[in-house]
Chains A and B, each alone.
Chain A
Amino acid sequence: MSALGELARYALLILVGFLPNEVWRMLGVVLARGLDEDSQVIVFARAAATAILTGVVGKLVIFAPGALASVSVTVRLGATALGLVAYLLARRSVLAGVVAATLAMMAGMLVFGGT
């Protein structure tokens, strides 16, 4: 690619990657001004962010992207459930839950097929 084409790629990164992403963070800075920790707005913002977070999880598990799509949705849901059980059994250890879920998913992929 020419030098100009190379530069254009970096300009695109700023214009369509960095800016549309960073605008939300800056907007957050503006909106958070003057709010104190116990404000009801914070309670709502935290709840909305949590719902979006687990929403991302639900979408990734059910409509899996890329290499994950080669495993059936049953295996993905089963591995998630196993991970939650491991999390509880290991006295609320996030590490144990994540490792158990991931290994279960990979084992399911080996047993039931996948690429």
Chain B
Amino acid sequence: MQPASTTLSLPYGSGFLGGLRGGVTSIYMVVVVGSYISIGALGHDLGFPLPWTVLTTLLVWAAPAQVILITALGAGAAPLEVALAVGLSSMRLLPMVVALLPLVRTPRTRTHEVLVTAHFTAISMWIEALQLLPRVPREARIGFANGIGCCLMGAATAATIAGYHLAQTLPGLLVAGLLFLSPMSFLMSAVRNARFTADWVALVAGLVLAPLLAWRGVGLDLMWTGIVGGVLAFAAQRLREALQNKVWR
């Protein structure tokens, strides 16, 4: 259980500025810069122009999908095949957006006001937003989430450009280190953010199920991991609550 949360102070009362600050001081600045340097280098190595490579960061804003897009198009794969592979890799964005938006909305929020927040939703932004938003006043949450997203996307864009220019000079050891940053930060943040039984069951289920399914050659391994892990976690949470109610009575 986490200690009682305190309210974050917002610079000039602005949620957006608070989000920018939350982004700058986030471990994900390091992670995003590291990952996007490798994406910039990939775009350069496969012969794509710099503006095209940068646009993938701004428009797609999901590192695994970008790696698939760049490598598959670079290898001359059929467009339909590429679209399918990108779409499959990005399915995780759906439950992330569904879990995030009710946290930022007020009863008066119109749908178009959360479109930007949805576009900024990616693993890094989602984890930081889930952690920080409960401490932000509700009216300031959309701005705050957009601030985190804007900050991380800005850093990713700069890193894409830097990686594009550094492509030939990066030693293999450093590239491997940069690649290791994202899975490790995802894991540590998931552990940090886990509060309820459901979080812990989902965390462990994902770690075990996805490699197991991939190893057995089951297609759509991540989708099944999400469904099975989600159901297990949900059931565990209900069971726990049912048992607690029994004890209290």
> Interface on A for B, CB 8 Å cutoff?
6, 9-10, 12-29, 31-33, 35-37, 39-68, 70-71, 76, 79-80, 83-84, 87, 92, 94-95, 97-98, 101-102, 105-106, 109-110, 114-115
User: Mind listing 5 A-B residue pairs with CB under 8 Å?
Assistant: A9-B48, A25-B97, A27-B94, A49-B96, A50-B203
List of B residues within 8 angstroms of A45 by Cβ: 95-96, 98-99, 230
Q: Contact at B207–A21, with CB atoms within 8 Å?
A: no
Cα A40 to Cα B235 in complex, Å, equals 11
Assess the B173–A21 pair: CB atoms within 8 A: no
Provide the residues of chain B in CB contact with A95, threshold 8 Å. 27, 30
Do residues A46 and B198 form an inter-chain contact, with CB atoms below 8 A?
yes
Residues of chain B touching chain A, judged by Cβ–Cβ distance below 8 Å, are 27, 30-31, 38, 48-49, 52, 55-56, 59-60, 62, 64-67, 69, 73, 79-80, 82-84, 86-87, 90-103, 111, 114-115, 118-119, 121, 123, 126, 130, 172-173, 175-177, 179-192, 194, 198-199, 201-211, 214-215, 221-222, 225-231, 233-234, 237
Please judge, given known A-B contacts A18-B59, A94-B185, A97-B188, whether A52 and B97 are in contact too, CB under 8 Å.
no
B207 x A28 contact (CB < 8 A): no
| A interface SS class | helix
One of A39, A49, A65, A83 near B184 (C-beta < 8 A): A83
User: Is the CB–CB distance between A114 and B98 below 8 Å?
Assistant: no
- Of B91, B121, B209, the contact of A51 (CB 8 Å cutoff): B209
* Residues of chain A with a CB closer than 8 A to B201's CB: 47
Q: Give the chain B neighbours of A115 by CB distance below 8 A.
A: 172
A55 near B121 with CB under 8 A, answer no
A14 touches B59 (CB 8 A): yes
The CA-CA distance from A20 to B56 in the complex, in Å, is: 13
A16-B69, A84-B191 known; A58 and B59 CB under 8 Å? no
Is B97 touching A43 in the complex (CB atoms < 8 A)?
A: no
9 tightest Cβ-Cβ pairs between the two chains A and B: A51-B229, A28-B97, A55-B210, A48-B230, A54-B206, A20-B87, A47-B233, A51-B206, A16-B83
Q: Which residues of B contact A109 (CB under 8 A)?
A: 173, 176
Of the candidates B62, B98, B198, B225, which one forms a contact with A35 in the assembled complex, judged by CB atoms under 8 Å apart? B98
- Residues of chain A within 8 A of B49, CB atoms compared: 6, 9
Contact A25/B209 with A51-B202, A55-B225 known, Cβ cut-off 8 Å = no
- Decide if A56 touches B99 in the complex (CB within 8 Å): no
B175 interface neighbour in A10, A47, A67, Cβ under 8 Å: A67
Q: How far is the CA of A40 from the CA of B115 in the complex (A)?
A: 23
Q: In the bound complex, what is the Cα–Cα distance between A33 and B164 (angstroms)?
A: 40
